[in-house]
Amino acid sequence: MPDPGPSPLQSSLPAAVASFGAHVLASALAVGVEPAAGAGPVEPSPPPPPALPTGPPVLTPVPVPVPVPDEGAAAAAAQPSAALERILRGPSGLGTASLHWARSDAPAAPVPAGPAGAPDAPAPAAGHPIPGLYHHPVPEPDPVQVEELSRRIKAWALDEVSLYPEDWEDQFDGFSVGRYMVACHPDAPSIDHLMLATRLMVAENAVDDCYCEDHGGSPVGLGGRLLLAHTALDPLHTTKEYAPDWEASLLSDAPRRAYRSAMEYFLQATTPSQADRFRHDMARLHMGYLAEGAWAQTEYVPEVWEYLAMRQFNNFRPCPTITDSVGGYELPADLHAQPAMQRVIALAGNATTIVNDLYSYTKELASPGRHLNLPVVIAEREGCSDQDAYLKAVEVHNDLMRDFETAAAELALACPVPTVQRFLRGVAVWVDGNHYWHQTNTYRYSLPDFW
Ligand SMILES: CC(C)=CCC/C(C)=C(\C)COP(=O)(O)OP(=O)(O)O
Ligand SMILES: [Mg+2]
């Protein structure tokens, strides 16, 4: 990995960010951290529900310990380096030990296969980072949590939503969604909270695979399928005559069963504005799938900027933006909607998604037809070799990562509200966990021979 260089936390506070809506800041400081869902012991899987379950158990709200900055905005602005460094280091006060933030100061190094040094440390997963890719390594996810989450998500997939036929089991296991979600949400207070993210991740991939890609997907008719599936997240309000047909449709294929069930659990554990934020992000995602499908259908290779615009929508964004729901607290809607926060979220989503383009490059080259990803589009549109295009795509990713970190650091400094600080760290940790999962998922991804 290249030297990450000076921390973005060293950057000075631009006037535009310093003026981050004073009224919003004042109201947010009054709001503080509102738990949306609570910690609890690891629960066994709920019994299989009837065809249309009445709803999962509500997570009991309990306060989540979050450090409150001990200095105001003025003091933080006066000492930007120290204040921002503290934010990115994460909580250290009394009662914060369980918030074991993933980012470490350790220099990045390829993760070797084989047993870990410490006797009780989890064995490092296999896989090498892409040479030159700017990223932050994370500690190995807790194997006990991974095992329990993996057990529970498989039970949900099989018993509650009949997600896949028997012969897809290897692919489901190889996806390693339990390891993915534990790495991305180290501050989740319970397995129940992790399950919120894990069900949605599985459901989102089921829709992508079955409607868009290699498990029967096609651009033909995609708009209709996606819209009807979207009603599992954003329900149809219609007349008595037509409602039963719509309800039955939500059980009629695996993607819709998965969306419907995952959303039902999510609704039980979150506030209406968190749920609506998620719906909006999913509408963005579906619009991105449609643009990708339309270009595949007409065999259009977009310009690089057009591709990046499509990939900003066909994007991991719905995953990091539920970090507060999974953490058991809420980032208030008016703070989430601020342009500075929206820029941070978009840059994080874009960096994580280009990580996918880079790690899935060889898989997509081997798939039938031409699968667009950033290196493929750069090679075609800028007339360079596959290798040069790939290396340029790494640089695009690195620029996005640095811009994300700078924007997040500036916002953290401008808005010393506990929920904002925690949300920004949650997004940053999701970015790092996402890289970890791509790097270590050697079942799914392998690197090209460019170095
Ligand atoms: C989990 C989620 C919201 C996914 C949405 C979009 C998506 C499937 C990706 C960003 C992954 O990209 P891709 O379809 O290229 O995945 P693979 O390369 O096949 O792993
Ligand atoms: Mg890909």
Q: For ligand 1, what atom is nearest to the CA of residue 288?
A: 6
Cβ of 360 below 6 Å from ligand 1: yes
Expressed in angstroms and rounded, the spacing between residue 317 Cα and the centre of ligand 2 is: 15
Compute the chain's Rg from CA coordinates: 22
Question: How many angstroms separate the CA atoms of 183 and 164, rounded?
Answer: 25
- Assess whether the C-beta atom of 316 lies below 6 angstroms from ligand 1: yes
How far apart, in Å, do the first and last CA atoms of the chain sit? 13
Say what the ipTM of the complex is.
0.98
Cβ of residue 204 lying under 6 Å from some atom of ligand 1: yes
Phi, psi of 14 (to 5 degrees): -65, 150
Q: Is 176 in the pocket of ligand 1 (CB under 6 A)?
A: no
Question: Does ligand 1 come within 6 angstroms of the Cβ of 315?
Answer: yes
Ligand 1 contact via 292 beta carbon (within 6 Å)? no
- 285 Cβ below 6 A of ligand 1: yes
* Per-residue tens of pLDDT for the chain, all 451 residues: 443 433 332 233 333 333 344 433 433 433 344 444 433 333 333 333 333 333 343 443 333 333 333 333 333 333 334 434 443 444 333 333 333 333 443 333 333 333 334 456 677 778 999 999 999 999 999 999 999 999 999 999 999 999 998 888 999 999 999 999 999 999 999 999 999 999 999 999 999 888 887 677 778 889 999 999 999 999 999 999 999 999 999 999 999 999 999 999 999 999 999 999 999 999 999 999 999 999 999 999 999 999 999 999 999 999 999 999 999 999 999 999 999 999 999 999 999 999 999 999 999 999 988 999 999 999 999 999 999 999 999 999 999 999 999 999 999 999 999 999 999 999 999 999 999 999 999 999 999 999 9
Distance from residue 92's CA to the centre of ligand 1 (Å): 35
Best probe residue, ligand 1, of 314, 439, 440 (max atoms within 8 Å of C-beta): 314
| Ligand 1 contacts CB of residue 320 (under 6 A) | no
Q: What is the pTM of this model?
A: 0.80
Question: Three-state secondary structure along the chain?
Answer: CCCCCCCHHHCCCCHHHHCCCHHHHHHHHHHCCECCCCCCCCCCCCCCCCCCCCCCCCCCCCCCCCCCCCCCHHHHHHCHHHHHHHHHHCCCCCCCCCCCCCCCCCCCCCCCCCCCCCCCCCCCCCCCCCCCCCCCCCCCCCHHHHHHHHHHHHHHHHHHCCCCCHHHHHHHHHHCHHHHHHHHCCCCCCHHHHHHHHHHHHHHHHHHHHHHCCCCCCCCCHHHHHHHHHCCCCCCCCCCCCHHHHHHHCCCCHHHHHHHHHHHHHHHHCCHHHHHHHHHHHHHHHHHHHHHHHHHHHCCCCCHHHHHHHHHHCCCCCCHHHHHHHHCCECCHHHHCCHHHHHHHHHHHHHHHHHHHHHCHHHHHHCCCCCCCHHHHHHHHHCCCHHHHHHHHHHHHHHHHHHHHHHHHHHHHHCCCHHHHHHHHHHHHHHHHHHHHHHHCCCCCCCCCCC
Amino acid at residue number 260? R
Q: 18 CA distance to ligand 1 centroid (A)?
A: 35
- Ligand 1: residue of 200, 208, 310, 316 to mutate (most ligand atoms within 8 A of CB) is 208
